[in-house]
Structure 1
Amino acid sequence: MTAALRDDGAGAAGRRVAMLVGNGVRGDSRVQKVARSMADRGWEIVLFGRSATGRTERFVIGRASVLLLPVPRVVSGYDRARVRRPLPDPAVRAAYREARALLARWDAWDSGGRGDALRAASRGWLARHPAADALAAVLGSGPLAGPLRHAGTAVAGLVGRGGGWRALNPWLRDLELAFSPAVSAFRPDLIHAHDFHMVGIGARLARRLSTPARTVRWVYDAHEYLAGVEVPRRGDPRGRLRRRMLLGVEAEHIRRADAVVTVSEAIAERLRRDHALPVLPRVVLNAPWRPPAAANAAGEARPSVRAVVGLPDEVPLLLYSGGLAPRRGLATVVRGLAALPGVHLALVARDDDPDLAGLLDLAEHEGVRGRIHPAPYVAPERVVDYFESATIGLVPILHRPNHELSLITKYFEYLHAHLPVVTSDVRHMAETTRRLGVGEVFRAGDPEDFAAAVRRVLTHLERYRRRYSDRVTDPAARYRWEPQADALHALYRRLLCAAEPAAAG
């Protein structure tokens, strides 16, 4: 039995953990690693995610169960329908009426405030009296109704608590409606809410599911520094409302969490400062997980990105993995490739990434399309093997507040694949690259400086590779997943031990 499994009986066996994430799980390596590792340590894990197919989907990740739930647009769909026509279909209105009554009850339960209680009572009355609700719908129609509704929503967002997320983000309401029955039926002892989409849903579910005899604990896992992601442009009122709403939902609930974890020390410090947290959030790095050697010895061929794109070993192959949005800086790489004859680029990304076509058009314009090779993702536990055949790993991201604060997942993956790294000068990754001596740094957004950095690495390739040759000083050794998982396991145990007196009555 591996060390990871020896602790099964120490607080984990039979204890249920519901993990919540607002995506489809398959593309999220962090939630997959956390679910798998906690299940390996004896916790009964169900990872609840969002289905993109409209159907419930079930699969497993190691010992963890995954349940992807369809999210009907009960609230957001009704709001959209009212934009298109004054009186949506009666069935749509009926579903909306019932949903708003339920949400109002949850709001009142969550806050205990008189305003929420009155709103819950009025919504409940309308739900029990469809004729009155239909009359309200008619009275709310007409040529002025749409602009008035939009103005009312904006005002509600400006004055509402939590940044007005209840009014401004009907999608969050749809998520809560879809997830709550399934999570409640699971009866978790602990809820692990991944990322800001789930912070409010996790908090509210934990409160509703707790009883005087049984406290449901919950953990907020801040995957990024939200205040550094949502930065609207000047003269963008919708962007400012969105920023206020997203920061508001986090601010309203984060202090209620039994524990907060995040991905870097810098983000942990900012979360404590911004929200006056009594305890510094626990850092759980996005280090890659690799299965034990025995698990890899089943005769399955090791994946190779070089083989996938069909290049011989002697051809220099740059590697980028991840999303292709403009802030990721791939335009810098494509333009810089024109000054790197004979050098190829593998783009490991989703084949339906909305920005892929634009990048390939840019490559055509720059005359480098023949040297750029889209490549598919592989399972998280196979990523390091997949990357090892590349020559250099790239992190070309542009300057954004959130980008300065942590080492992103692909950076750790490059280290474990023993790749020299070429990164833009975003603060934390640039400092780490220079300190470890594993690569070169270029000015973000500067194609010429990018090309110069790549040339420096290619010229002294063996020097950078030697940084990984000593097992004692291997930079990857300090960024392993197992210590991260052990720390999270210990946190779960501490939280549920704290809940024991309540559970004992």
Structure 2
Amino acid sequence: MNRRVVHLSSAHPAEDTRIFVKECRTLAAAGYDTHIVISTAHGYEKDGVKFHALAQRPGRFYRMCVKPLHAYRAVRALAPDVLHVHEPDLLPLAWLFARRGVHVIYDSHEDLPRQIPYKDWIPAPLRGPIARIVEWFEDGICRSLAGVVAATPHIADRFYKAGVNAVCVANFPNLSELAMPAGESWDAREKSVAYIGTISVERGVNELLQAAKIADVKIHIAGFPHPAALGETLKSAHERGEIVYHGAISRDAVLDLMRTLRGGIVCFHPLPNHVDAQPNKLFEYMSAGLPVIASHFPLWREIIEKSGCGICVDPNKPRAIAEAIRYILDHDWDAKAMGERGQNAVRERYNWEVQADILLAFYRDILKEAV
């Protein structure tokens, strides 16, 4: 009988790229009876993965206090061999199922203790103590679980040093996206670049708006604004002809947009959770054959310089971002070569197929399964 795996999330969208597109589809293809308990209007099945609906209601209290009770009932009814949880507020529930003999995995997408000092809704004097308590809490519970799947080497190393069975499974793009229909020829592409993803001050939107003016380029910006009020600022800039603001667009629309432009920007501010992260969009730009303009963090610089796929800049300096944009747009041969080198690096190293093997090996080890 196939082992039953349940992925549980209280905050992510139903078809989240990491949870569904990468991890769950990989597990289902490998023969696991794969389920997701997540916020969705109704249950359904897709690509061999069975979705089970959690109620969707606004508010942090509901998500952190009430929703876990509903999640507990849903998971208990499914009686999984493996429970794979995706938020820290689900760790008490994870501990309960581990006590019941379920193999429980915690998927650490971000380094939460390093984020807390930047949470504006927490009073400043409390952020340091709360961060230490959260790290103690996470480490303590995770030592009682089967293991941790971490999104970056930094997070995996943190848990490993705390005595946790941890492995890094990075958010690299699917090789299937390299087989997408060819984009416009380089000469036919619009002389512009894009930022695609969650839009926020911390992710450099103000510097992008300034860089667009300095470089005299209409940067394409697509994604969810956070907070939502930021969307009005972007709409105004769009109406003035300073940028092209797309708002939130579908995955297919993202791919279509990348096929028509000449570069991708990921200039996050140097916050702890950014410096040690491996942003999805960096590798998605690379997979699409776009040269990258990225923050000069050591980890990012190592990836970009090793691949020769872009330019690293100080994310706090709009003029540096603008100069990088102008270089890419004014040096066609070099920009195209950067894009090709980035795509080759994804094909050889930075792809989900390599990470899928790591995930499956981790599951086999936990379940004591033969290869």
TM-score using structure 1 length: 0.64
Asked whether the 8 Å contact 2:97–2:104 carries over to 1, the reply is no
1:409-420 alignment, distance < 5 Å: 409-420=280-291
Shift, 1:403, TM fit: 1.0
User: Once the 2 structures are TM-superposed, how far is the Cα of residue 416 of structure 1 from its aligned partner?
Assistant: 0.5
- Measure the CA separation in 1 of the matches of 2:94 and 2:264: 36
Q: Distance in 1 between matches of 2:130 and 2:243?
A: 39
**1:226: which partner in 2?**
112
The number of aligned residues is 364
Taking the aligned partners of 1:75 and 1:221, their CA distance within structure 2 comes to 20
Residue 47 of structure 1: how far off its partner (Å): 0.8
- Change beyond 3 A, Cα 1:483–1:253: same
In the alignment, does 2:192 pair up with 1:317? Answer: yes
Alignment of 1:34-433 (within 5 A): 34-51=23-40, 56-70=41-55, 76=61, 171-207=63-99, 210=100, 215-232=101-118, 236-237=124-125, 239-240=127-128, 243-244=131-132, 246-273=134-161, 275-277=162-164, 279=165, 281-291=166-176, 313-341=188-216, 343-350=217-224, 354-360=228-234, 363=237, 369-379=241-251, 384=255, 387-433=258-304
Does the C-alpha gap of structure 1 residues 192 and 235 become closer, same or farther in structure 2, counting only changes over 3 Å?
Answer: closer
Structure 1 residue runs without a partner (length 5+): 1-12, 78-170, 297-301, 307-311, 500-505
Bigger Rg over Cα:
1
Q: Secondary structure at the match of 1:398?
A: coil
* Aligned partner of residue 220 in structure 1, secondary structure: strand
Secondary structure of the equivalent of 2:215? coil
Q: Establish whether residue 21 from structure 1 lines up as the match of residue 9 from structure 2.
A: yes
Shift of 1:266: 2.4
Higher deviation after alignment, 232-241 or 446-455: 232-241
Alpha-carbon distance between aligned partners in 1 of 2:107 and 2:76, rounded to the nearest angstrom? 20
Give RMSD over aligned pairs: 3.3
CA-to-partner distance for each residue in 1:86-122, whole Å, 9 max, x for gaps? xxxxxxxxxxxxxxxxxxxxxxxxxxxxxxxxxxxxx
The DSSP-based 3-state class of the residue aligned with 1:323 is: coil
* Map of 2:336 onto structure 1: 465
Q: Which one-letter code corresponds to 1:349 in the other structure? A: G
**Equivalents in 1 of 2:138, 2:26: separation in Å?**
26
Task: Give the letter aligned to residue 79 of structure 2.
Answer: R
Q: Is the 8 A contact 1:392 1:419 kept in 2?
A: yes
Whole-angstrom CA distance in 1 between matches of 2:229 and 2:137: 29
Preserved contact between residue 398 and residue 426 of structure 1 (Cα < 8 Å): no
Tell me the alpha carbon deviations over residues 56-82 of structure 1, each in whole angstroms, 9 at most, x when there is no partner: 5223341111223016799947xxxxx
CA apart distance, 1:203: 2.4
* Cα distance, 1:249–1:20 mapped onto 2, change above 3 Å: farther
- State the distance in 1 between where 2:368 and 2:128 align: 42
Residues 238, 374 of structure 1: CA spacing in aligned structure 2 closer, same or farther, 3 A cutoff?
farther
Indicate the residue corresponding to 1:495 in structure 2. 366
CA distance in 1, matches of 2:292, 2:264: 5
Distance 2:330 2:13 in 1: 40
Share of identical aligned residues, percent? 24
* In 2: Cα distance, 1:430 partner to 1:358 partner: 33
Q: Which runs of 5+ in 2 are unaligned?
A: none
Q: What is the CA-CA distance between 1:240 and the residue it aligns to?
A: 4.7
1:35/1:224 CA distance change after superposition, 3 Å: same
TM norm structure 2:
0.86
Q: What is the alpha-carbon distance in structure 1 between the residues aligned to residue 145 and residue 280 of structure 2?
A: 25
